[in-house]
Structure 1
Amino acid sequence: MSHSPVQIIARGSRVAAETAAEAIDADPMLEGATYSILEEDEDRDVWRIDAFPTTEEESEGLQARLAEHPGVTVVVETLADADWLAMSLSGLPPVRAGRFFVYGAHDQGRVPPNTVNLKIDAGAAFGTGHHGTTVGCLLAFDDLLKRESFERVLDVGAGTGVLAIAAARTGSRVAIGTDIDEPSVRISNENAKLNQADARFVHASGLNDAKVRGHGPYDLVFANILAPPLVALSQDIKLALKLGGVAILSGLLRTQERRVTAAYLSRGFVLERRYRRDAWSALVLRRVG
């Protein structure tokens, strides 16, 4: 079935919006859906969900999940027949996260000195550095680098590759990224070349893939995906890490912290720190067992 590009916009209180977002995450038919959640008006407690379905079925599913929540209002807007992703990115400001500065081609002239500058082209991939989950991962990584180094780094669900590229640019000898989406792998490798970073990205459906396993065990694993796969991958991420290694996990809402943390504590991890931006959370866990 052909699909006219649309943007689904839902607004409600923080509790209502987070509950609606959890319903999207819990629906297996919407596992690959792209959406964001952020605070739109702090004084009035208005939070906003923006979703960009890629099929008619996904659009119907997103609208159905959001309509189940009476505290959420939903509007569907038709997008013009254009490269709306590129157009939206052209208006995004650069992002500073600790020592890292993430920017697009349109901000070439705004790069500050004395920062690790990451020029990222999103194309059709997710993870420009502007999303709260990616910023949380970069802030967590920046803080860790102040006291330790990571020779081998794995980025699970790499998207644009910004996290593995950040690792390669800050001294990691091995920086491997994986994604189940082939266009994302291509875009990540292009971004690595653009940033002159010795990071490599492979198409792999799991951490047991030989292209992933052969470079382990890793000192650090990034996994900026969603809460359900984070839980499902807890044992695989443990086995990919050396003892004492660190996992930086994101793609989860604040309300999902307990569920994800519990899965990793049961696998022999300890929670060292959490970072929160908008409704999103990033967790830093260390393997101790």
Structure 2
Amino acid sequence: MSDSWKLTLPCTRAEAEAINAGAIEIDAVLMTTELVEDDLERWQLDAYSECEPDARMIAAVRALVPSAAGVAPVIVALTDADWVAMSQQGLEPIREGRFVVYTEAHPIVPGAGERGFLINAGQAFGTGHHATTSGCLAMLDTLSDRQFAKVIDLGTGTGLLAFAARHLWPDAQVTATDIDPVAIEVTRENAALNAVDGVDLIVADGARHPLITAAGPYDLIIANILAGPLIAMAPEIAAIAGPHATIVLAGLLAAQAEAVQAAYRAAGCTVEQADTRGDWTILRLTAAAEPVTGLASNDEGRENWARDI
């Protein structure tokens, strides 16, 4: 039995840019690729799924690329390959502020004053190439002149944002958590690969785990997840925040930003900055001077912590 599947159709650049994955009800991760540089007609759409594409999924994906009408989709079973790694092959190094993120396939020597992180594509989200992760790196870089004693990265993925925080605030207590044990193992491996130490790792669903609350309150909270869980977790994230703590939120589409902001305003937080990158928004907030009481988390909104690539 295959672990995952890939459905491929040709498309144009206009079709690729028009795809809004957050507004499409397709149980697959969508990736678009420029096949020929500067050729507006030679693009490709790949849909990665854990289930074999059925007629409904094929029709839904085909509807996104009218130019491929009449073209038979290529469907491949990815039995022995990790679909996340395959979808991220060939990623070029990126620079955000003082940070350089690269893979073994595209090594780079960081320049003076830069901190490089080798983060290979794999089973966890967060190579730095998605706008949410790179946006968080940029946001953290702008906070480098502040002092933080306790930092937590909720939904750490590969550990990249926790590593960046560790670099910026070497004296801080840094904690990285994820609901997925695989992600925590990946973070542990990446920490060794990048000579990062002193990051506490916790497998946890949200921010209510006893080890998380016991180590708090935190004066910097990073959560690069998805809009639904971010909204559901607003009360518990506010509860572990120290007075006037800084909160960085990402993983939300620009169209979802107002709903996320409203949830955190209700929890006593103040929105300080919104950085929109394409379809995605990164928020910086300040927590209340005192936790807002009487708020309950919405467990229904916490069910899906899946991350976009």
Question: Do they superpose with TM above 0.5?
Answer: yes
Could you tell me which runs of 5 or more consecutive residues in structure 2 were left unpaired when the two chains were aligned. Answer: 290-309
Match among 17, 20, 26 for residue 19 of structure 2: 17
Q: Aligned pair in 2 of structure 1 residues 38, 279: CA closer, same or farther (>3 Å)?
A: farther
TM-superposed CA distance for 1:219, in Å, is 0.9
- Assess if the C-alpha contact under 8 Å between 1:180 and 1:205 holds in 2: yes
**Equivalence for 2:301:** none
Q: Aligned-pair RMSD on alpha carbons?
A: 3.5
**Equivalence for 1:144:** 143
Is the counterpart of residue 166 in structure 1 residue 164 in structure 2? yes
- Assess if the C-alpha contact under 8 Å between 2:16 and 2:32 holds in 1: no
Residue identity in the other structure for 1:112: G
Q: Aligned pair in 2 of structure 1 residues 217, 152: CA closer, same or farther (>3 Å)?
A: same
Q: Aligned pair in 2 of structure 1 residues 37, 276: CA closer, same or farther (>3 Å)?
A: farther
Cα distance in 2 between the residues matched to 1:48 and 1:272: 38
The structure that is helix-richer by fraction is 1
Q: Aligned pair in 2 of structure 1 residues 287, 93: CA closer, same or farther (>3 Å)?
A: same
Cα distance in 1 between the residues matched to 2:227 and 2:163: 23
- Assess if the C-alpha contact under 8 Å between 1:66 and 1:72 holds in 2: no
Residue identity in the other structure for 2:205: S
**Equivalence for 1:231:** 231
TM-superposed CA distance for 1:234, in Å, is 0.3
Cα distance in 2 between the residues matched to 1:39 and 1:265: 40
Is the counterpart of residue 265 in structure 1 residue 265 in structure 2? yes
Cα distance in 2 between the residues matched to 1:78 and 1:114: 45
Q: Aligned pair in 2 of structure 1 residues 91, 36: CA closer, same or farther (>3 Å)?
A: closer
TM-superposed CA distance for 1:106, in Å, is 3.0
**Equivalence for 1:78:** 75
Residue identity in the other structure for 2:235: Q
Q: TM-score, length-normalised on structure 2?
A: 0.76
User: SS in structure 1 opposite 2:101?
Assistant: strand
Larger Rg: 2
**Equivalence for 1:63:** 57
Cα distance in 2 between the residues matched to 1:279 and 1:38: 17
User: SS in structure 2 opposite 1:108?
Assistant: coil
TM-superposed CA distance for 1:63, in Å, is 2.8
Residue identity in the other structure for 2:134: V
After TM superposition, list the pairs within 5 Å mapping 1:1-289 onto structure 2.
2-7=2-7, 17-18=19-20, 21-24=22-25, 34-35=29-30, 51-56=47-52, 63=57, 66=60, 73=66, 77-79=74-76, 81=78, 83=81, 85-86=84-85, 89-145=88-144, 147-172=145-170, 173-197=172-196, 198-289=198-289
- Assess if the C-alpha contact under 8 Å between 1:153 and 1:218 holds in 2: yes
Could you tell me which runs of 5 or more consecutive residues in structure 1 were left unpaired when the two chains were aligned. Answer: none
Residue identity in the other structure for 1:54: E
Percent of aligned positions that are identical: 34
TM-superposed CA distance for 1:37, in Å, is 7.9
Cα distance in 2 between the residues matched to 1:107 and 1:39: 18
Cα distance in 1 between the residues matched to 2:165 and 2:264: 23
Name the stretch that deviates more: 250-259 or 75-84. Answer: 75-84
TM-superposed CA distance for 1:214, in Å, is 1.9
Deviation sequence 1:136-156 (CA, Å, 0-9, x none): 1111111111x3122211111
**Equivalence for 2:307:** none
Q: TM-score, length-normalised on structure 1?
A: 0.81
Cα distance in 2 between the residues matched to 1:241 and 1:66: 42
- Assess if the C-alpha contact under 8 Å between 1:103 and 1:120 holds in 2: yes
